[in-house]
Amino acid sequence: MVNEYLDAVNLVRNSTADVAIAGEIMLAATVRQFNNQLKLVGGIFNSTIVGIVCNKNKVNLCCALVNAINFLINEGIYKDLLQRYSFNYTNNAICSSRINLQGSTCASMCIPRNKQLCMKNLN
């Protein structure tokens, strides 16, 4: 995939293609990398669900990530960030962070403190 992305960028740089579409973060980095020979235009036209990958053998790290995300949600920081950048819970947010590991260790460490938070923020 990286080669396809760089190939697309190079086609724009040498005027073989007019535009290339990719993730905003990658495009912004590419514009800087090529000394502003390219221009990032337009706004976000689509969004996608993303996650965080964690080595399942590092249970403490995985659960710490889940708990940190849930802390942001429970304290209202997540909602404030969504509003600051013009997003909303209905279309763009998660209600709680979960982990897909099996077993009692993660189940006991990674339970959100307030299960009603999601419904409260969606209303």
Phi-psi region of 99 (alpha: psi -120 to 50; beta: other; left: phi over 0): beta
Q: Which residue has the tokens 């964690």?
A: 54
Domain ranges within the chain, ordered by starting residue: 1-46, 59-122
Residue 76's pLDDT is what?
A: 87
Question: pTM score, two decimals?
Answer: 0.48
* pLDDT tens for the 123 residues of the chain, in order: 447 878 888 888 998 888 887 777 777 788 888 887 888 887 666 666 666 777 777 777 777 888 888 888 888 888 888 788 777 666 567 777 766 644 444 444 444 444 444 434 333
